[in-house]
């Protein structure tokens, strides 16, 4: 069903006038909000965990609807720009890119630490179009046919795909890319289960991957938080924060935890400022600490 839907959407996006793209996306989001009850319930539940003491139910539902709208817009944008990479220069504006350039000048690579926030695949395409050697660590889609379509599109843009599994292959490919002074995008905002660390996220313990900090320690790569934000008129602003210096704790585990907490605090600050940009349809707090 997903494969059929993808092909139908690709066909529609190719045939309708560009001015109708976002109207089409809005209709998709309205239908999804009505019929994708499971994802809607997860979104509202997640919003209550994060903002239940700060925002009323009406506002939480508005954020959820806007989240669905942004997801639909992001999907339609990807389908449209897959074959029009040069148009991305006018679609996505860089802010703070001097931080990225300064880090790359050190020659040890850059880890862009981010989240499933905004149209982040568009950010990777924009970086590649601008001439940056860019890749991202990604989970493959469940439908292998869909994954192959999107992988080929990323290849066409020049965006390196590093799959999160097998783990050893992922680590080796990432280290090699960083040693080649490339950019690797790593989101750390989803439930990591066992193997990560539990840190504070919206006042609740959240299982979080430690990869960016461990890779930075191992390679000397710079850690730069980065977020892409939808603007009025459906253009985008990609914000590169200053390089985050690693702090030292009382031991190896404490050092990693402190730095992951600092990165997560930055992610939370962006979500608080632009709540509809984050993917609330994920069960972020699913895993719980043992004690």
26-57 pLDDT, tens digit each: 999 999 999 999 999 999 999 999 999 999 99
Question: 199 pairs with which residues across the strands?
Answer: 206
**Within a 13 Å sphere around the CA of 268, how many CA atoms are in the beta-carbon half?**
17
- Does residue 107 register a pLDDT over 70? yes
> What span, in angstroms and rounded, lies between the C-alpha atoms of 88 and 129?
8
The tens digit of pLDDT for each residue in 121-133 reads 999 999 999 999 9
> What span, in angstroms and rounded, lies between the C-alpha atoms of 66 and 63?
5
Q: What is the DSSP letter of 166?
A: S
> What is the predicted pLDDT for the residue at 3?
55
> What is the predicted pLDDT for the residue at 6?
58
pTM of the model: 0.95
For the chain, percent of residues with pLDDT exceeding 90: 79
pLDDT tier for residue 193 given thresholds of 50, 70 and 90: confident
Q: How many CB atoms lie within 10 A of CB 121?
A: 23
> What is the predicted pLDDT for the residue at 153?
83
3-state secondary structure of 138: strand
The tens digit of pLDDT for each residue in 126-157 reads 999 999 999 999 988 888 888 888 888 898 88
Q: How many CB atoms lie within 10 A of CB 233?
A: 6
Report which of 267, 258, 252, 181 is spatially closest to residue 220, judged by C-alpha positions. 181
3-state secondary structure of 238: strand
Q: Where is average pLDDT lowest: 105-114, 153-162, 196-205, 241-250?
A: 153-162
> What span, in angstroms and rounded, lies between the C-alpha atoms of 14 and 18?
9
> What is the predicted pLDDT for the residue at 2?
55
Is 33 in contact with 40 (CB distance < 8 Å)? yes
CA distances from 43 to 38, 51, 73, 115, 128 (A): 9, 12, 17, 16, 32
pLDDT tier for residue 163 given thresholds of 50, 70 and 90: very high
Is 223 in contact with 263 (CB distance < 8 Å)? yes
> What is the predicted pLDDT for the residue at 200?
98
Question: What per-residue string of b and e applies to 250-279 under the rule 16 or more CB within 10 Å gives b?
Answer: eeeeebbbbbbbbbbebbbebbeebbbbbb
**Phi, psi of 145, rounded to the nearest 5 degrees:** -65, -40
Rounded average pLDDT over 245-259: 96
> What is the predicted pLDDT for the residue at 109?
98
């Amino acid at each position: 069903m997903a494969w059929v839907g993808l092909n139908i959407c690709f066909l529609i996006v190719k045939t309708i006038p560009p001015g109708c793209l976002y109207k089409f996306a809005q209709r998709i989001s309205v239908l999804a909000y009505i019929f994708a009850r499971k994802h809607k319930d997860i979104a509202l539940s997640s919003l209550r965990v994060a903002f239940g003491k700060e925002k009323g139910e009406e506002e939480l539902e508005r954020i959820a609807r806007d989240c669905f709208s942004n997801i639909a817009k992001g999907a339609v944008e990807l389908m449209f720009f897959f074959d029009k990479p040069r148009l991305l220069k006018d679609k996505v504006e860089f802010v703070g890119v001097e931080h990225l350039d300064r880090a790359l000048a050190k020659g040890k690579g850059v880890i862009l630490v981010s989240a499933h926030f905004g149209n982040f695949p568009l950010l990777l395409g924009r970086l590649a179009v601008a001439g940056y050697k860019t890749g991202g660590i990604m989970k493959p889609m469940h439908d292998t046919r869909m994954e192959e379509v999107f992988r080929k599109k990323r290849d066409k843009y020049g965006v390196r795909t590093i799959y999160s599994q097998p783990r050893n292959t992922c680590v080796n490919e990432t280290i090699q890319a960083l040693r080649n002074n490339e950019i690797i995008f790593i989101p750390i905002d989803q439930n990591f289960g066992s193997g990560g660390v539990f840190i504070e996220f919206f006042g609740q313990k959240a299982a979080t991957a430690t990869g960016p900090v461990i890779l930075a320690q191992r390679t000397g790569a710079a850690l730069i938080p980065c977020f892409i934000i939808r603007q009025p008129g459906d253009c985008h602003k990609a914000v590169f924060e200053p390089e985050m210096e690693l702090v030292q704790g009382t031991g190896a585990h404490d050092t990693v935890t402190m730095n992951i907490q600092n990165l997560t605090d930055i992610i939370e600050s962006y979500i608080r400022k632009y709540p509809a940009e984050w993917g609330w349809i994920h069960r972020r707090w699913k895993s719980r600490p043992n004690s």
